[in-house]
Structure 1
Amino acid sequence: MLRRRMLMMLGACFFIVLLLAGHKAFSIYQQIQVYTKPRPPVSVAVATVIEQPWQQRLPAVGTLKALRGVSLSLEMAGTVKDVQFESGQKVKVGQPLIQLDSAVEQALLETAQADLGLAQYDFARGSQLVGDRAISKGEFDRLSAQLQKNKATVNQLKASLAKKHILAPFGGVIGIRQVDVGDYLASGTVIATLQDLSSLYVDFYVPEQSVPKMAIGQAVQVEVSVYPQQIFPGTVSAINPKVENSTRNVLVRATLANPDNKLLPGMFASLQVLLANPAPQIVVPESAVTYSLYGNSVFAVVEKKADDGSVEKDADGQPVLIAERRFTETGERRNGLVLVTKGLQQGDQVVSAGQLKLDTGTPIAISPDKTLAATPGQPPRAEGAL
């Protein structure tokens, strides 16, 4: 009886073990079927690699300066008698700006002119008398020297009198005035700034390695943060013939027009120096490049090959497309495009959207990328390409 019960228990345990083993085997079989089943293709957008003219550029930053700009100041001290300009006014060359009190200088000038008249009379009379030997030659020389001295005194007082009023040295826009009528101004006091805004300079530095690429007359494109969507063209007008010891950079100056007076001296400028003539280069959309510490790469679209080297085809007879990671060397980025110097050839197709799902050998299906709009200067779209 006991033996029979033991056999029944062993049989039940054996049945349960078989049941569990069968369930596990079926689960493993299902997993194997999942991994051996062909993966569905991943929908991606692709772009065709093209070759187009590419203008090499040298980026730099600089500061805008007025074509002519000065701080108007006094050479002589005095009291302001009249202010003849308004803050922010456009002035012409030679226009009066400030008049100082010049009553003392005017009186001294009249006295000196009277002495000059007497000296001229004495000299004229002495010229006659020295010819008649009525006066000595030494007396005549003294009269001549006195005449020259009086002339110099008059000229000196006229120059001092002229410095009692300030004229605009050139045409431009005058700044906010710093003085008013009745102020006593010491010598060197700044009354306002005057800037000629018809044209501007932009001074910037380039590395010494780039000096051979620079030349007078090269085109420059200037941008300022105030007008982010506008480019101001200019030309290189001067290259400093000295390398800075501390930075090993060379100072370069470009000139640009400012007809609407939009630009102001002191503005920060970001600029591009156009170097050589445009040359054909390989470019791809910026979204197609994956940047990493191990190098930049793209996913190229290639046809899957069978073991015998033939192209595999799907049920519709079309070639099966897969992704292939290619490491590339890239250059400048501009307007949504990237310059590729190594790793791609003209006519290749690269994935421009959907790379996060891909690895080498992943089947892909080309579909339009509706999130991106066509922009001028980008490669033409293939089927679903940028």
Structure 2
Amino acid sequence: MTKATKYNLFIIIVLAAIIAASVLFAKIHHAPAKHNTPAVVVTLGTATYTTLPNAVSAIGNLSAIQSTHVSSKAAGYIKALYYTEGEHVQKNQLLIQLDNEKEQAAVDSAKAQAAMSQLKYSQLQKMYRRRLVSYDDYYTAKVNDKKDKAALETAKTALIEKSIRAPFSGVIGAKTISIGDYVAPGTALATLTNITKLRALYAVPATYLSKIKRNQIVVITPNSQLNQHYKGTVSYISPSIDTQSQTIAVHADVSNPRDALKPGLFVTIRQQLGKPINVLVVPADSIFASLKGNYVMAVKDNKAYKLPVTIGQKLANSIVIQHGLLAGQSFIVQGQSKVQAGSTVTILRNTS
């Protein structure tokens, strides 16, 4: 045997040893573990039905239905103020008196003139019937009587406009004027707000369009008085949807007999949409989320698996199930965080 042949044989033997060692190492490395993973102890439960109000909730604020700036139709100086800021006033109650001496004198003069014209017209009317005066004299007296009566009414109106009265019952605002101030026509002198009935302004998602209706009952809870609730009714639904927010503006009127509510107050509104509804719910902590959607962990042949579900409204400690589970169908309610799909489980108890 030549040296070259011996050398080649040596190389072959070394390579064969290396291959054999690699195969042996791979078998040892990938050999299954001799110990078994212990089963996870879990508790099963079932989806149950509960009753929920058929309602939609929203945040809004209160606004006055009746509110105005009291102003004067006439010019003049303020002679007297007959109200205290913040007090309740009645419709037609005198609030502000402007100087009216000139207007009072004009009324007195117009009364006298109207009385004279009426007397003359009455006399000439009798005489004309007896053909003692001409028709022109009679007609002139008649026209003067009407003209002077109209002048009297004009003078009375001017006098009335010097007395500024409440257009409706309500609460008068803060004083911003004083006796002696000059008032121009149209100047805002005070604010008057009727708070016996207020209006809640809010918006609901457009998805409720087919369910919301006028005269539906609402329950209004002031954010500053969470233990107080006031009933009202829907008075307005916008004919259009806000393109940015995709919501519908809604108004609801609520009585305020004790003046506990004020315009501008933030409130929570729950609008009743119909009779209460039955929904299927599961504990909130039994729901898992993934990129493919939500699921619960269920068990079959002592193996855990993912059961896809479609969830709805989130409640205090539970979640509404829309699809994926049936009433009475079991799933893991305790120990679910310790298992994954394929895990072996031992059922401690079944609460269904």
SS in 2 for 1:108: helix
Corresponding position of 2:121 = 123
Cα 1:223–1:75 shift into 2, 3 Å: same
Letter in 2 for 1:277: K
Determine which of 331, 340, 345 is the counterpart of 2:326.
345
- Counterparts of 2:64 and 2:346, CA distance in 1: 58
Shift of residue 72 of structure 1?
A: 1.6
Contact 2:88-2:170 at 8 Å conserved across structures: yes
Other-structure match for 1:16 = none
Cα deviation, residue 105, structure 1 = 0.8
> Is 1:74–1:187's contact at 8 Å kept on the other side of the alignment?
yes
* Aligned residue identity for 2:217: A
Question: Deviation string for 1:159-178 (max 9, x for gaps)?
Answer: 22112122223322222122
Q: Do the aligned partners of residues 271 and 134 (structure 1) sit closer, same or farther apart at CA in structure 2, a change above 3 Å counting?
A: same
Give the counterpart letter for 1:218 in structure 2: Q
Q: Which residue of 1 aligns with 2:162?
A: 164
Distance 1:86 1:136 in 2: 61
* Aligned twin of 1:243: 240
The equivalences for 1:133-212 within 5 A come to 133-206=131-204, 210-212=208-210
How many residue pairs end up in the alignment?
325
- What is residue 330 of structure 1 aligned with on the other side? 311
Distance 2:346 2:228 in 1: 41
Between stretches 222-231 and 154-163, larger displacement belongs to 222-231
Shift of the alpha carbon at 1:238?
Answer: 3.4
**Equivalent in 65, 89, 92 of residue 91 of structure 1:** 89
Q: Quick one: structure 1 residues 298 and 101, their matched pair in 2 at CA, closer, same or farther if it must change by over 3 Å?
A: farther
Determine whether 1:275 maps to 2:276.
no
Give the superposition deviation at 1:51: 1.0
What amino acid does structure 1 have at the position aligned with 2:307?
R
Q: Report the alpha carbon displacement of residue 236 of structure 1 after superposing the two structures with TM.
A: 1.6
1:360 aligns with one of 338, 341, 347 = 341
2:39 and 2:346 in contact (8 A); partners too: no
- Cα distance in 2 for residues equivalent to 1:354 and 1:259: 54
Native 8 Å contact 1:323 1:364 kept in 2: no
Deviation, 1:347, is 2.5
Distance in 2 of aligned mates of 1:74 and 1:162: 11
Whether the 8 Å CA contact 1:47–1:285 is kept in 2: the answer is: no
- Sort the Cα spacing of 1:37 and 1:238 in 2 relative to 1 into closer, same or farther, 3 A: closer
Relative to 1, partners in 2 of residues 1:128 and 1:214: Cα closer, same or farther, differing over 3 Å?
same
Q: Which amino acid aligns with 1:38?
A: P
Q: What is the SS of the residue equivalent to 1:97?
A: strand
| Structure 1: segments with no counterpart, 5+ residues | 1-23, 306-319, 368-381
Letter of the 1:338 counterpart:
I
Work out whether residues 238 and 254 of structure 1, in 8 Å CA contact, stay in contact via their aligned partners in 2: yes
Deviation at 1:283, TM superposition (A): 1.6
Q: Distance in 1 between matches of 2:72 and 2:228?
A: 40
Q: Contact 1:80–1:180 (CA<8 Å) still a contact in 2? A: yes
Letter of the structure 1 residue corresponding to residue 327 of structure 2: Q
In the superposition, relative to structure 1, how do residues 257 and 131 fare at CA in structure 2: closer, same or farther (>3 Å)? closer
Whether the 8 Å CA contact 2:221–2:268 is kept in 1: the answer is: yes
Which TM-score applies when normalising by structure 1? 0.72
Q: Could you tell me how far 1:281 is from its partner in structure 2?
A: 1.6
Structure-1 separation of matches of 2:130 and 2:163: 49
**Deviation at residue 180 of structure 1 after TM alignment:** 1.6
SS of 1:243's partner is: coil
Identity value in percent: 29
**101-110 or 348-357, which moves further after superposition?**
348-357
CA shift at 1:119, angstroms? 0.8
Question: 2:41 touches 2:348 (CA, 8 Å); kept in 1?
Answer: no
Aligned equivalents of 1:146 and 1:282: distance in 2?
86
Spell out, residue by residue over 1:322-364, the C-alpha distance to the aligned partner (whole angstroms, 9 max, x if none). Answer: 6543221122234443221111122345556765443234437
Query: Would you say the 8 A contact 2:217–2:232 is kept in 1?
Result: yes
CA shift, 1:206, in A, is 4.6
TM-score, normalised to structure 2, is 0.79
| TM-aligned CA distance change 1:216 to 1:134, over 3 Å | same
Q: Is the 8 A contact 1:287 1:353 kept in 2?
A: no
For residue 262 of structure 2, the aligned residue among 257, 261, 264 is 264
Q: Deviations over 1:60-89 (max 9, x none)?
A: 444322232222222222211111111211
Could you tell me how far apart the structure 2 residues matched to 1:147 and 1:282 are? Answer: 85
Query: CA contact under 8 A between 1:178 and 1:190: conserved in structure 2?
Result: no
**Paired residue for 2:41?**
41
Structure 1 runs (4+) greater than 6 angstroms displaced: 27-31, 364-367
In the TM superposition, residue 282 of structure 1 has moved relative to its aligned partner by: 0.6
Distance 1:122-1:292 versus aligned 2 partners, 3 A rule:
farther
Partner of 1:32: 33
Change (3 A) 1:143 1:234: same
Unaligned runs of 5+ in 2: 1-24
Q: CA deviation at 1:31?
A: 9.4
Aligned CA distance change for structure 1 residues 326 and 244 (closer, same or farther; 3 Å):
closer
Amino acid at match of 1:296: N
Query: How far 1:235 moved relative to its partner?
Result: 1.7
- The letter of the residue matching 1:327 is P
> Within 1, Cα distance between the matches of 2:31 and 2:66?
84
